[in-house]
Structure 1
């Protein structure tokens, strides 16, 4: 979870919600909270390296689990591209005379080259970058408060306007929440540490706290930013389409804050890119090794660098598509895969506890294992159906391709589908220690 992403998508969400970005984050936090509780329940009974794929496979059916995993793969593949898009927007704001594609090619080549040569954990570096980002955000909030007291923006530090005003429609807030749920992607990576936890009972609390603390950071930043910029017309259209972070920094603190805020966003985004690129390359390798994907290509490890050379380069090629897209377009595609995964984790709770174990006879069991996950499922599904039409079409096509591929793998469902563990050790592979597949923390 990258704290500065709240500034990247702020302009786009302000347009969608009619300038109530904090309301969108509040709604998304409620949805993610219910889903985090469901993740906590499932990690308690399936304490292996958890994921939606694993939970659906074990609680319902391996084939359905494969389809959920395949659908989730779309957001794994596109996350490095998102980082490329964000860095491109930063550099375009600082160096407007240089074409954006130059930055995409340069950064993609650099990141791909680093991952190609070595794949190592970056948790300590990420922690430093995280602290740096939060400190910069705190300085930003203080500067905004001073300006608000002096009459800038809404002219007050206490107002309900960022959450509600007469022109607000719930459907618009729902659409905004669908976009900002992208900011929460990564909290589920906590489940990857289930086997290492000294006390497995801490896992549900850790997952929920990750969502609540991250959501609190997003809410505070969005609230004061909305007060400072009550209308999205304050931002140029090109910034709204890509990233409003440089523009926000410039208008609040001039070139100095723009540079510092951009540096914080740049550092966090680059770290996220390295982590996501390495993680998806590794996941594709594991799928190749287990026969889920063609082994000759996806299971190949370079004898010289001991890294999955082909999958690393493939992810780099996908990242180059950042030349042709904007951030608001790609966010919807990523959210399609993530929301499908979140929806099925809630369904898994009902399937495992209420159906398979029959825990539906007492009021407490009904609330814990039917009502709460059903609410989470309904809320997540509500966000899912509010995705952009193009994202739904592309996502459904991707899911359809997965179904066709599943039929091929199982020879018409006559043999079991291969399974894989995203954190499975791979011999001869420079291990990725931390962070997890979609996490920076």
Structure 2
């Protein structure tokens, strides 16, 4: 294998939160508004509220596990180390479904925007140009990716806030519901729990990103930043979605004003603020989608890096880090190649498949908290520890499980097919399950994946929980 470098620790708290929010794409609430409003009978904010509650429980679990296993593997690593290496691989494989497809979704959305603006140009041109630009930026450096993401994110959030202000003005003028404060966007006659749960499975797509920040653990200046970054990301993103969804639902109680229900964002901009605002609103959507493209492209390449360093994906290619740019070159280029598939796929199909992988990952992260603290390290000794390490994650697992079984049939079928491919690959890899997944480990490759943390005194430090020493109860690798 060619000489490989390490990931560089140069991301602070707000850079990580910005990458998470960029991944979540603040303007996606308007892209999916028509679909969710139709499914919930005009209760889009209710669907977001249900999803946010589920994500908060899961965010607590991510925060606990990232302190124990401060590496970029996320649900894959947590399941592998606390439950079973083989099960961990299958969870990681399933998670790849959403991590790999989200960069392609962003490319697909850009293609749709450009097709509406320049209908005479061939669609493949936009896909190729977008893919080359995004791949080039992510290849250059993680610090540069974070900076560009931050600029795009700020622009998008400012335009979402401007929409809310214009919506308030129109509501006060008697448009839409004619009131600024009303419970109708959350509950009214005709709103049923089952429909809201179905809507929540769709808007879960919007929250994918708060968990992806764990992929930057090896590039955080200090591992202790990660739990706070995870919670700040989910709360900030949830607040944006709730507020924007609330005002959009009041202004557009039903879909009768939209000619394109599948993605009414351009029409929402036009109906809210006229042609000039529509121009800026669509530009903000471009910026938010590009920011999500950068963040998602970078994060999935880190997950494949961990799987490559563990040997469950070919180590020579997937485990390589360019020593000059500190980026996993092969993985980044591979994700770019997947983005090219955006020339043909539909947004509805890909977003459904993404939710399958995400909800599987969320469920198992909650379960790994119980597995680690209650069984592996036996730290559940009183009511407080029982509440933190059993009750809270159990609620999170049940809630994500409920959303998973509420997924659209297409998502379930497609996701199960992908899982079956993973099982077949695992069977080949382990020679009919006769070889342990753990036997592919290379401790030296795993240890050299990132630079050591730097303490305030400037000396290299090992993995710790923020207190200067190893986390109590952290497992020893087999």
Match of 1:70 in 2: 93
Task: Find the partner of 1:382 among 381, 392, 402.
Answer: 402
Task: Indicate if the aligned counterparts of 1:36 and 1:207 stay in contact, CA closer than 8 A.
Answer: yes
Q: Does the Cα contact within 8 Å between 1:22 and 1:219 map onto a contact in 2?
A: yes
Contact 1:192 1:423 (C-alpha < 8 Å) held by counterparts: no
Query: Equivalent residue for 1:434?
Result: none
Q: Does 2:446 correspond to 1:425?
A: no
2:364 is aligned to 344
Describe how 1:137-176 pairs up with structure 2 within 5 A.
137-176=160-199
Matches within 5 A, 1:356-367: 356-367=376-387
Question: Are residues 1:26 and 2:46 paired?
Answer: no
Q: 1:37 to 1:280 in 2, by over 3 A?
A: closer
Give how far 1:272 is off. 2.3
Q: Deviations over 1:386-412 (max 9, x none)?
A: 111111111111111111211221223
- Per the alignment, residue 348 of structure 2 pairs with 328
Distance 1:322 1:423, change over 3 A: farther
- Stretch deviating more after TM superposition (18-27 or 204-213): 204-213
The alignment status of 1:274 with 2:294, answered yes or no, reads: yes
Q: SS at 2:179's partner residue?
A: coil
Structure 1: how far apart are the matches of 2:309 and 2:78? 21
Work out whether residues 364 and 397 of structure 2, in 8 Å CA contact, stay in contact via their aligned partners in 1: yes
SS in 1 for 2:410: helix
Find the counterpart in structure 2 of residue 435 from structure 1: none
User: What is the match of residue 401 of structure 1?
Assistant: 421
CA distance, structure 2, for counterparts of residue 278 and residue 360 of structure 1: 36
After superposition, the C-alpha distances for 1:342-399 in whole angstroms (9 at most, x for unaligned) are 0000000111111223344422222222211111001001111111111111111111
CA contact (8 A) 1:101 1:323 kept: yes
List aligned pairs for 1:105-144, cutoff 5 A: 105-112=128-135, 118-121=140-143, 122-144=145-167
Q: 1:419 to 1:271 in 2, by over 3 A?
A: farther
Q: Aligned pair count?
A: 423
Summarize the Cα distance change of 1:365–1:176 in structure 2 as closer, same or farther, 3 Å threshold. Answer: same
Deviation at 1:218, TM superposition (A): 0.8
Residue in structure 1 matched with residue 4 of structure 2 by the alignment: none
CA separation in 2, counterparts of 1:302 and 1:133?
32
> Secondary structure in 1 aligned to 2:248?
helix
Q: 1:353 and 2:373 equivalent? A: yes
1:240 to 225, 239, 261: 261
Counterparts of 2:299 and 2:216 in 1: how far apart (Å)? 15
Q: Is the 8 A contact 1:8 1:86 kept in 2?
A: no
TM-score after normalising by structure 1:
0.87
Structure 2 vs 1, CA of residues 424 and 22 (structure 1 numbering), >3 Å: closer, same or farther?
farther
- Please report how far the alpha carbon of residue 244 of structure 1 lies from its aligned counterpart in structure 2 after TM superposition: 2.1
State the alpha-carbon separation in 2 of the partners of residues 294 and 198 from structure 1: 29
Segment of structure 1 superposing worse, 318-327 or 29-38: 318-327
Within a 5 Å distance, the mapping from 1:84-123 to structure 2 comes to 84-112=107-135, 118-121=140-143, 122-123=145-146
Distance 1:24 1:200, change over 3 A: same
Cα deviation, residue 299, structure 1: 6.0
Distance 2:141 2:45 in 1: 37
Moved more, 89-98 or 288-297: 288-297
Change (3 A) 1:419 1:395: farther
Deviation track 1:220-255 (CA, whole Å, cap 9, x = no partner) reads: 00000111111023222xx333x3221211111122
CA change 1:101–1:192 in 2 (3 A) is: closer
* Matching residue of 2:242: 219
2:109–2:347 CA contact under 8 A, matched in 1: yes
Query: Could you say which residue in structure 1 is the equivalent of 2:253?
Result: 230
Gaps of 5+ in 2: 1-23, 452-478
- Indicate the SS of the match to 1:159: coil
> In structure 1, what is the equivalent of residue 70 of structure 2?
47
d(CA) in 2 for partners of 1:273, 1:113: 12
Deviation at 1:274, TM superposition (A): 3.0
Gaps of 5+ in 1: 428-441
Q: Deviations over 1:148-198 (max 9, x none)?
A: 111111111111111111111111110111111111111123434556767
- 1:56 is aligned to 79
The aligned counterpart of 1:431 is none
SS at match of 1:165: coil
Q: 2 CA distance for matches of 1:422 and 1:273?
A: 27
The answer on whether the counterparts of 1:28 and 1:177 sit within 8 Å (CA) in structure 2 is yes
1:250 touches 1:257 (CA, 8 Å); kept in 2? yes
Aligned to 2:58: 35
CA distance in 2, matches of 1:194, 1:249: 37
Counterpart contact for 1:74–1:337, Cα < 8 Å: yes
Output the aligned Cα RMSD: 2.9
Cα distance in 2, alignment partners of residues 16 and 322 from structure 1:
26
Identify the residue that residue 432 of structure 1 maps to in structure 2. none
